[in-house]
Structure formats: C-alpha cells, structure tokens
Amino acid sequence: MTPEMIAPLFLALLASFCSTTSAQDANMDRALKLMAETPLIDGHNDLPWQLRKQFNNELNKVDLNTLETTHTNIPKVKKGRLGAQFWSAYVPCDTQYKDAVRQTLEQIDVVHRMCQKYPEVFMFASSSDDILKAFSMNKTASLIGVEGGHSLDSSLGTLRTMYQLGVRYLTLTHSCNTPWADNWRVDQGSDPSEHDGLSPFGKQLIVEMNRLGMLIDLAHVTVRVMNQVLDMSEAPVIFSHSSAYSLCKHSRNVPDEVLLRVKEKKGIVMVNFYNDYVTCRQTATLSDITFDHIKKVAGAEILGFGGDYDGVTRLPEGLEDVSKVPKLVRDSKVNSTKPDDVPIPYDDVQNPCRTSYGYPNAGTSHSFGAAALLLSLAVLTEILAL
C-alpha cells in the first residue's frame, strides 16, 4: 500500500473514531443529566459484608474515602452517581441454627454506623420520602435488606424487630434451605427439597411481611417458591439481584413465565452484574448486560439495577466497580426512546388518582425529571412503610 493510499485511509478511520467518541460523549452527558434528575436505586451491595470480613466491622480501622480493596468506596459512589442503595445485611448459611441473628444485627448496626460516620455522604433511609430527601441533599440514601431467611431463626418476632431497625426487604433464602423455604440450589439439584417450596410457617411469614410493608425478595429461591409467593402476596415483590434465565440458564436467574407474573404483580427485577449470571461464563463485557430481553418479555417498567458489588468475584469489563455504573446507563436501551415506548393516551387512563406527568397536553406542565422520578420510585412508594 502506497503512502498516497494510507493517508486517506488514516483520515477516514480518524473521522470514524471521532464520530463514535462524540456520540458516546453525548450519550454520557444525557445519562449524567438523567442521573442528576432521578435517583438511581441499586438493589444489592455487599459492602457491609466486606467491612466485617476485612475489618471485623471496626470502622475506626478503615477510611471509606481511601479504601481500595472493595468495589465500593466514597469516591466510587460519588462518581457512580448512586442515588440510593440497599446495603445487604448478609451472614453465611453456616451461621444458621447458631448465631445468625446476632451476626445479622451486627450487620444492620454497621450500616447505621457507616451512615453516622459519613453523614455528608450517606443518609439512612427507610421510606421513599427518605430517598427523595437524601437525593435533594446530594446524599446516597442508604436502605437495608437482609439477605437470607436463616437470619430470622424462624421467628416472626425477629422479623418485626429487624423491621423496626430499618430493614426494608428480606431475601427469603440464601444458598441453603431454611426450616420454612427451599433455596435456589434445589432447582439446580445440589440441595434436596424440604418443603415443596414454602412450609405453612413460610406462608405465614409472607402474610406478616405484607402487613409490615417489608419487601419480599425472591432472588435466591426456587421457581416453586417464586410462584407460591406471587400467588399469595398482596404487595409487589422484587428480585434484588437476579438476571434473565433465558439469556443464562442459571438457577439464580428468573424464567420468562415468572417475569410476566412480576409484571402482573407490579414488581421489579433488579439485574445482577455477576459474570456467571450474565453470560454463564467467567468473562463478560459491559455490552453483555442487556435489558432488552426482560423489556421484551415483561416491559421496561419491571427493570432495575442490582449490581451485587462486593458480593461477587467476577464483573464485566467496563463495570469493574460502582463508579462505572453511568456507563451502563449511557449504553442501556432503557435510556432511549423508541416507537414501541409510546405511552397510552392520557385521556384513556385519566382518573382522580392518576397524575399527568409526561403528558404535555394534559393541562399540567412538569419536568422530565419529575416524571422519571415517579417511575423510579413507583414500587417503593407503594410498599415501603412511610
């Protein structure tokens, strides 16, 4: 190839690169604007477990401004524009029948103490109003989810006490059966079924969670338990950190038929970033995190983020820590407008209990930020106790 031929080719490649970079920059600007107007709520982060594992919860021995051995620290939270986070109060299954309750209380405590130590960054939250308040103050709203029913020691009193301490969701099982519910490993064939889903006590616990206003998290249960809860719960349910089974046939993911039932229940599936649940391989890239399948099956309204940072060992290239989340918002098909997203005409659904956000000709003018905010908080507003 002659020098005369190389020069035009180089210029063409440079022009293409600049055009792509410019488009990416514009999309990132759009994503950051959206995140400045709307709190991104992540369903699951295991930083509290790392604080226990690495520092035995001695917060005086760690500075979250400089900590570099975790996916999450204060600079990463700020760069990641994290509006609200459900911090996981998790303890391993081998604490079951031993000291699971005590250890879980200590994990709840460390979240409270983290908020107290860094009040300029974190604000403890237990309601949708709290999330809005924290967002208005440019702080990360910090909620608690208990990951695993073994943490209750089969006690409704423990459930109620944890609710009073600010816990707003319970993952019914982790990776072990409880005396009242089967875990996901039953579907995989690794554990035997002990209850054919939920026992009578397990069903009683669902009723009590509904009464309290505590979110029911189905992220680690069998498909049988998923369907039993969807049959009986009077409130929307969540999957705090699960992906689509059709894309990666792992028992921790959600089958299409369950996605449809979550839509009917007005619940939410918060997509996990763990490589093994995204691609069923040890490697993945940012582009492998796709919302298209769930959106196609059940609609964009059930989609959420549940990164599972600091609880997994492998994350996609481009999503290595919390700071990278804006890249996913930038690239997400959720962050776009397509013909199939045209909403139903307001006149077709107008009633005294429905607002007109987003409908420019409905007689009320509201900002895009307000409309998006209502969307992001729809589930939480309905089922978190105020």
User: Which domains are delineated in the chain?
Assistant: 40-331 (3.20.20.140)
Q: What is the pTM of this model?
A: 0.84
Residues 178, 311: Cα–Cα separation, whole Å: 21
Please report, for the chain, how many H helices and E strands are present, in that order: 15, 9
pLDDT of residue 12: 56
pLDDT of residue 373: 38
- Given a cut of 50, the residues of the chain with pLDDT beneath it are 334-337, 339, 363-379, 381-383, 385-386
pLDDT of residue 5: 61
Cβ–Cβ < 8 Å for 59, 74: no
Overall size of the chain counted in residues: 386
Candidates 153, 308, 321, 331; catalytic one: 308
**H/E segment holding residue 243:** none
pLDDT of residue 372: 36
What is the tens place of the pLDDT at every residue in 35-68? 999 999 999 999 999 999 999 999 999 999 999 9
Pairing, β 82-89 against β 303-305: unpaired
pLDDT of residue 290: 83
pLDDT of residue 371: 34
Candidates 71, 150, 220, 250; catalytic one: 220
- 46 has catalytic annotation: yes
Candidates 42, 130, 147, 153; catalytic one: 147
Candidates 71, 150, 241, 250; catalytic one: 241
Our measurement of the distance from residue 42's CA atom to the centroid of its chain's CA atoms, rounded to an integer in Å, reads 4
pLDDT of residue 334: 46
Q: List CB contacts of 191: < 8 A, sequence separation 6 or more.
A: 176, 177, 182, 183, 185
Cβ–Cβ < 8 Å for 77, 322: yes
pLDDT of residue 367: 32
- 147 has catalytic annotation: yes
Residues 122, 355: Cα–Cα separation, whole Å: 31
Residues 287, 30: Cα–Cα separation, whole Å: 18
Tell me the Ramachandran region of residue 321: left when phi exceeds 0, alpha when psi lies from -120 to 50, beta otherwise: beta
- 174 has catalytic annotation: yes
